């Protein structure tokens, strides 16, 4: 995400990394008659004025962001400025996290050139916590900030071993499965979301079995799953440990959960159940436009991608079912560098932007799902609707998924491992490579990149 993060996320470097590419997915989604936009999506407005005050003597708080975080688009800056007339807010946006994050690390390392507030993608938060925490404020000390306002695992992701919380969470990406009701009907599968959820409840192997049933009567030219990359990311999003263990050791090669996810995805690809495209690339976009697949692993921001790439005749033909297992794909944090010009004012703004009420507003306007459980009962969430999914209560569906997400170990180089498994691994099975050849290539690519 998110997506950006975008996706992801696609934990957000762009190019091949699925979580990073979420940051590239700009797409309108309709909610309550308004537009929902993909969570951490593509371009934002780049305002490079980082001065400490404007001509009216106001204090200017600057934010360094990647993708479209949505605060400005959802009207939150304007609302805060009305509540605080002496404050003016400006954001500087870098489109892709792969360009944003290395520069952020450089600025943190040199302790210079930082904005008052800096966003950090979930795929990078572990590295920032481990290596840059001393440069960032402990936001747990800010008035009104309480750890109970966030999902426990989200709070812990930005907290150091000595209990310094250096980032406050904005959105998350609770996992679901978005599916085409019309294609399911043609293939003889149930279309009611409760019945669909039962097809694969509790087991991703059941998801593959449902795909085999789909393919028996599949509409010509369609596959059950959009892509192997999306599938393996979704499976791994529900594992407590995937690429690193709690001690910080790289375990992706020896973790049976990773190999099982890889093998199951490769099996689906070998059986022709998945598309042969890499997510968030132009060819994959075309498969959405032409209704070429029946299911896609689907955090909330994915609805924005679907909306942006679909033709109008697809509106209302989608629905959202529970994923086989709960997981998270995407999410961002806001941090306050100690060297900023307005640390106190910036910290107050971060606390306000990430409060449950503002997170609910952001979801209603932009599709970024809240990391604050208190937001789940607010009308902006409970009443959310989406043009692609008609009357489906998407806010309630994703809220239930969010409550079941396990605490997951995030390592400093998760993005490298994830990208290797997707773009240099399982996708090769759709190109004629054996699962073993695909795995060996992924491992070689990942290890080479980890050594750099």
Average pLDDT over residues 53-61: 80
Average the pLDDT over each of 25-39, 145-159, 168-182 and give the range with the smallest value. 25-39
Phi, psi (degrees; rounded to nearest 5) at 237: -65, -15
Cα–Cα dist 25/67, whole Å:
9
Stretch 265-277: mean pLDDT:
97
Whether 174-328 and 21-173+330-403 are alike in CATH topology: the answer is yes
Q: For 159-189, how does the pLDDT look when each residue is reduced to its tens digit (9 = 90+)?
A: 999 999 999 999 999 999 999 999 999 999 9
Q: Residue 56: which pLDDT band, with cuts at 50, 70 and 90?
A: confident
- Output the average pLDDT for the chain: 88
Three-state DSSP at 186 gives helix
pTM: 0.82
The two tokens of residue 201 are 């409840």
**Interatomic CA distance for residues 91 and 406, integer angstroms:** 33
pLDDT attached to residue 12 = 34
Q: How far apart are CA 128 and CA 107, in angstroms?
A: 12
* Residue written as token pair 């979801």: 363
Q: What is the pLDDT of residues 223-244, one digit of tens each?
A: 999 999 999 999 999 999 999 9
Q: Domain spanning 174-328: which CATH class is it, in words?
A: alpha beta
Please report which confidence band the pLDDT of residue 51 belongs to, taking 50, 70 and 90 as the band edges. Answer: very low
**Distance between CA atoms of residues 289 and 116, nearest Å:** 41
Nearest to 46 by CA among 83, 120, 5, 99: 99
Over residues 413-429, the mean pLDDT reads 94
pLDDT of residue 19: 38
Q: How do strand 176-180 and strand 318-322 relate by DSSP bridges?
A: antiparallel
442: Cα separation from own chain's centroid: 23
Residue count of the chain, please give it: 452
Distance CA 106, CA 357 (A): 34
> Is the confidence at residue 428, as pLDDT, over 70?
yes
- CATH code of 21-173+330-403, in short, is 3.40.190.10
Q: Mind listing the pLDDT tens digit for each residue in 81-137?
A: 999 999 999 999 998 788 899 999 999 999 999 999 999 999 899 999 999 999 999
């Amino acid at each position: 995400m998110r997506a950006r993060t975008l996706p992801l996320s696609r934990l957000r470097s762009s190019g091949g990394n699925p979580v990073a590419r979420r940051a590239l997915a700009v797409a309108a989604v309709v909610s309550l008659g308004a537009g929902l936009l993909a969570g951490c999506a593509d371009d934002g407005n780049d305002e490079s004025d980082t001065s400490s005050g404007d001509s009216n003597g106001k204090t200017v708080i600057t934010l360094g962001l990647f993708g479209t975080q949505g605060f400005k688009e959802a009207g939150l800056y304007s609302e805060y400025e009305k509540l605080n007339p002496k404050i003016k807010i400006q954001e500087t946006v870098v489109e892709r996290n792969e360009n944003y994050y290395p520069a952020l690390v450089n600025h943190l390392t040199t302790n210079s050139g930082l904005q008052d507030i800096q966003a950090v993608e979930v795929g990078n938060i572990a590295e920032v916590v481990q290596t840059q925490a001393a440069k960032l404020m402990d936001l747990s000390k800010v008035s009104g900030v309480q750890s109970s306002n966030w999902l426990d695992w989200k709070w812990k992701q930005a907290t150091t071993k000595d209990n310094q919380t250096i980032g406050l969470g904005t959105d998350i990406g609770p996992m679901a499965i978005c599916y085409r009701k019309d294609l399911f009907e043609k293939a003889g599968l149930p279309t009611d979301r409760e019945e669909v959820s039962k097809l694969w409840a509790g087991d991703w192997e059941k998801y593959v079995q449902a795909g085999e049933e789909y393919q028996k009567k599949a509409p010509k030219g369609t596959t059950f799953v959009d892509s192997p990359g999306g599938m393996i990311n979704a499976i791994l999003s529900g594992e407590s440990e995937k690429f690193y263990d709690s001690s910080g050791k790289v375990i992706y090669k020896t973790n049976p959960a990773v190999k099982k996810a890889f093998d199951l995805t490769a099996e689906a690809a070998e059986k022709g159940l998945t598309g042969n495209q890499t997510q968030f690339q132009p060819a994959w976009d075309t498969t959405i436009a032409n209704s070429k697949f029946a299911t896609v692993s689907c955090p909330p921001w994915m609805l924005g991608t679907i909306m942006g790439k679909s033709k109008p005749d697809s509106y209302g033909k989608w629905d959202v079912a529970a994923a086989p297992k709960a997981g998270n794909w995407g999410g961002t944090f806001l941090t306050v560098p100690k060297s900023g010009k307005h640390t106190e004012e910036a910290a107050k703004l971060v606390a306000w932007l990430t409060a449950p009420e503002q997170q609910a507003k952001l979801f209603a306007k932009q599709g970024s799902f809240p990391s604050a459980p208190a937001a789940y009962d607010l009308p902006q969430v409970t009443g959310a609707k989406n043009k692609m999914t008609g009357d489906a209560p998407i806010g309630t569906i994703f809220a239930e998924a969010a409550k079941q997400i396990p605490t997951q170990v995030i390592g400093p180089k998760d993005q490298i491992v994830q990208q290797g498994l997707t773009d240099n691994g399982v996708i090769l099975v759709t190109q004629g490579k054996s699962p073993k050849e695909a795995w060996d290539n992924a491992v070689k690519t990942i290890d080479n990149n980890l050594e750099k």
